Amino acid sequence: GLGWTYTDPSEVFAEMKLNMSSLNNITWDRLETEGAVTYPSTSPTDPGQAIVFADGFPRQDGRARFTPASIIAPDDAPDADYPMILTTGRQLEHWHTGSMTRRSAVLDELEPEANCSLHPSTLRKLGVIPGDHIRLSTKRGTIEIMAREDRAVSPDMVFLPFAYVEAAANILTNPAVDPYGKIPEFKFSAVKVEAVNGPVAAE
């Protein structure tokens, strides 16, 4: 009654191919039978080339164009009061705001509690074991959250997923934007990390 019409996914795919040359030789049939076809695929039987732009870049002379970029210091640099770096991102089980993944019983059972990740040496300095709660403070706010151990995180850094409304990353992150792309500085904030039940701060 609303005037909606069903669109076959293959029709959408066909329309996308008209505007996206990267889909050349990649079809629903191939994906269903082969499992994956990577870009660029040079023929209907090519599973995909190992190197993108191996024969040149899509520019008149076929050469890439490099543009130098000046490094701009972060707006919120670590100091004596906030000596560590906070970065944010996704985790495997929960994405973005968690509005869908946290409503999944299976995914929420895997990661039911807000958590952040720190290097084992940082946890030792704090006197914290994985599963304990720590306090993260920036110039904008404070949250308390469970600590996880992760050797992939640098010792001077804490990784905070942004899927947990009860420990919202945007309480802490810096909304300052870069002057060119106007992208907020959500990936880098000066932060103080403390054990909830102790006076020691990681440095």
Q: Who's near 129: CB < 8 A, 6+ residues apart? A: 123
| SS (HEC) of the chain | CCCCCCCCHHHHHHHHHHHCHHHCCCCHHHHHHHCCCCCCCCCCCCCCCCCCCCCCCCCCCCCCCCCCCCCCCCCCCCCCCCCEEEEEECCCCCCCCCCCHHHCHHHHHHCCCCEEEECHHHHHHHCCCCCCEEEEEECCEEEEEEEEECCCCCCCEEEEECCCHHHCHHHCCEEEECCCCCCEECCCEEEEEEECCCCCECC
* pLDDT reported for residue 103: 47
Q: What is the mean pLDDT of residues 154-171?
A: 80
In the predicted structure, residue 162 carries a pLDDT above the cut 60? yes
Report percent pLDDT > 90 for the chain: 38
* pLDDT reported for residue 198: 57
Q: Who's near 164: CB < 8 A, 6+ residues apart? A: 94, 98, 114, 145
* pLDDT reported for residue 2: 55
Per-residue pLDDT tens digits for 50-94: 888 888 888 999 999 998 988 888 899 999 999 999 998 866 544
Report percent pLDDT > 70 for the chain: 75
Domain ranges (residues) in the chain: 8-63, 84-195
The mean pLDDT of the chain is: 81
In the predicted structure, residue 155 carries a pLDDT above the cut 90? yes
* pLDDT reported for residue 96: 56
* Residue 110: both structure tokens together: 């895997």
Rounded Cα gap, residues 135 and 153, in angstroms:
18
Q: What is the mean pLDDT of residues 102-109?
A: 50
Rounded Cα gap, residues 95 and 104, in angstroms:
12
* pLDDT reported for residue 165: 62
* pLDDT reported for residue 191: 96
Rounded Cα gap, residues 182 and 203, in angstroms:
31
Q: Which residue has the higher pLDDT, 21 or 143?
A: 143
Q: What is the CATH number of domain 84-195?
A: 2.40.40.20
**Which of 18-32, 136-150, 179-193 shows the highest mean pLDDT?**
136-150
Q: What is the mean pLDDT of residues 34-42?
A: 89
Q: Model's pTM, two decimal places?
A: 0.63
Rounded Cα gap, residues 146 and 61, in angstroms:
54
In the predicted structure, residue 109 carries a pLDDT above the cut 80? no
